[in-house]
Amino acid sequence: MTEHFSYIRTDDDLPPVAIIDRSPITARHRIVFGIIAVLGAIAWAVIAFVRGENVNAVWFVVAAICTYVIGYRFYARLIEMKIVRPRDDHATPAEALEDGTDYVPTDRRVLFGHHFAAIAGAGPLVGPVLATQMGYLPGSIWIILGAVLGGCVQDYLALWISTRRRGRSLGQMTRDELGAIGGAAALVGVLVIMVILIAVLALIVVKALAQSPWGVFSIAMTIPIALFMGCYLRFLRPGRVGEVSLIGFALLLAAVASGNWVAQTSWGAAWFSLSPVTLCWCLIIYGFAASVLPVWLLLAPRDYLSTFMKVGAIALLAVGICIAHPVMHAPAISQFATKGNGPVFAGSLFPFLFITIACGALSGFHSLISSGTTPKLLEKEGQMRLIGYGGMITESFVAVMALITASIINQHLYFTLNAPTAQTGGTAATAADYVNRLGLSGAPATAEQISQAAASVGEQSIVSRTGGAPTLAWGMSEVLQRVFGGTGFKAFWYHFAIMFEALFILTTLDAGTRVNRFMLSDALSNLGGPLVKLRNPSWRPGVWICSLGVVAAWGSILLMGVTDPLGGINTLFPLFGIANQLLAGIALTVITVVVIKNGLLKWAWIPGVPLLWDLAVTLTASWQKIFSGDPAVGYWTQHFQYVAAKEAGNASFGSAKNAYQLDQVIRNTFVQGTLSVIFALVVVIVFVTGIVVALKVIRGGGRPLAEDDPVSSKRFAPASLIATAAERKVQKEWEALPK
């Protein structure tokens, strides 16, 4: 079958650097994919049309996996053939600019782990849990189909355009492709949005780890383990990815297992039981270190290590669901979807369901990773589909698991966990009385049942454990204890899940800080003069100065959120969701313009359709957040209510229990309302500029493409996660070369 393969050389003295595979799809594969498609269609029919509490959670796993397989094999392949057209005979930025610090060609398996760990933060865990308030049907449709048609497309194509531009950041690419006006708006807007995103991610970590010595110890141990793995691959055993993976995984399991023992010792409880403010400072210091150290030393190996825990825990949960067969207690579409008065978050299904789910389907933050660290580590362009499209598919599956765990929980217990203290009263008795008045299906809850539920997971109380993370942990423990260990292990699985969530989110924080440093460096370099040196992202004075500025910015907002009387997460997460989706609007605008500039107008609908949907959702949400007269929705309405209370001489009002907290709420709502206006204006400016540039290009004018001239590659690497026979053959030729 060698007639289906072409081997590309750039140097007659070296083996091939690329393989072009033109093998047609076989009849056996057609049958297999046909069966997968039919099975997926059946699963979707069950999810969409069966009502009541008889829908088995297994159908959601089947529908998701079948949809992902078809999407990756056919839709991603279409994008690869018609738009991306990878050239493995061209050097990637990692190869052409290799410097051992930021530009480092990295094994595709390690890079997939880093990329997935970097993009998969709070959104796919917390967003679907909160969105379950609306019912399981709209959330499941958006998470799965939105990812395949929107989120995966954005991530893949953002990686593509950045790889062709020396790994430039999204803000800088916007300036290069759209001009000074759109570029300036994007550079400023993206920087501010990124600061908000990192701060919210860090806030969720703090909420999960505060006063949790087991979680703090286990996560702290991943740092020395990652340093060991980085040095092992760099100096001791270069290229031995499988070997170091086994060592790292064993050490990670030891850290998790020993964390429970450490937490029960007097010294462990004293050293690792940290207050929220102390945790904030620990995260700020860690973020700075992850930004300035060489990427191979800490960031990449730690993210790769974390992927074992992330993928392993989600796979374990999926197996548990398939064995335990839990049923969905949440309705397909709840009363709150139409009324918009839900206790978890206020607002109607459109647009706030899509804003709340955030990263599980489409995330602007991903475009920053795809144009930040990942293109600077990519070995070959042919790996972009695996890492960009495949990484987002994996995250979407995480979101499906989160939706399932929230939906199988008794609905009275779900709202006991997620309704704010102001509504539940903070005690089991008052919480039972509150949720029984919500008109939920099933038997009424009692105070004894709520107290027993808390005791079953080793907690004093589960009332108003808002933020989504405790709900996900409770649902995971409910599934896993049915399959692994029984009720006696429920508390273990609950605290394991809490630790897992914190680890999940923390890897996004460190990569996000480094990416924000790249963007700040790009933005300042445009000012000219001595700052031109910042165009080199590895210039050491610039690295330290930009890193310090970035962590100071998100650290300040983090500390503000920790001390917020409204709970921080309750007020910042909606802003996080809107900012994240508006960022996706900027990314998709730039991608669509680049596709048109490449002469591919007939394929511009691929990024264009997700762009228009994203703008419809996010600008509607922004409008409501700015102008809504409902204080539960509108930031400014809430702000002026608290201002009026202060001017009336009230020492307390609403959630503010004293004059100091009243001032905090006034300050925070002013900041949130102002940022909502700025974010919306930035995206509108970028979108309008993009339309103008695209029309000029279509008419035969406009700005030229800002792609760099290609450089011939002098290395080979497989494109797929598991190398094909042809790839293994060429790999052996390269390994046989004299060192």
DSSP 8-state secondary structure symbol assigned to residue 50? -
Cα 569–Cα 575–Cα 580 angle in degrees, nearest 5: 115
**Positions of the chain with pLDDT lower than 50, given as ranges:** 1
Tokens at residue 280, please? 């904030």
In three-state secondary structure terms, 656 is: strand
Name the pTM for this structure.
0.88
Question: Per the structure block, which two tokens stand in for 735?
Answer: 């390994």
pLDDT, tens digit, 9 for 90 and up, residues 16-32: 999 998 888 899 999 99
Residue 213: per-residue pLDDT:
82
The confidence score (pLDDT) of residue 1 equals 47
pLDDT score, position 564? 61
CA–CA dist 509, 501 (Å, integer) = 13
- Give the 3-state DSSP-derived string for 221-282, with helices as H, strands as E and coil as C: HHHHHHHHHHHHHHHHCCCCHHHHHHHHHHHHHHHHHHHHHHHHCHHHHHHHCCCHHHHHHH
What pLDDT shows up at residue 302? 73
Q: Which residues contact 461 (CB under 8 A, 6 or more apart)?
A: 426, 427, 428, 451, 454
3-state secondary structure 291-356: HHCCCCCCHHHHHHHHHHHHHHHHHHHHHHHHHHCCECCCCCCCHHHHHCCCCCCCCCHHHHHHHH
Q: For strand 18-21 and strand 5-8, is the pairing parallel, antiparallel, or unpaired?
A: antiparallel
pLDDT of residue 22: 86
319, 61 contact by CB (below 8 A)? no
- How many angstroms separate the CA atoms of 317 and 298, rounded? 28
pLDDT at 444: 94
3-state SS assignment for residue 706 = coil
HEC string of 233-250 equals HHHHCCCCHHHHHHHHHH
Q: What is the dihedral of CA 244, 250, 252, 254, to 10 degrees?
A: -150
- DSSP for 618-641, written as a single string: HHHHHHHHHH-S-TTT-HHHHHHH
Q: Decide: helix, strand or coil at residue 376.
A: helix
Q: What is the CATH number of domain 2-95+104-210+274-413+492-735?
A: 1.20.1740.10
Structural domain spans, the chain? 2-95+104-210+274-413+492-735
pLDDT at position 634, please?
A: 87
Q: Name the token pair of 512.
A: 């996000």
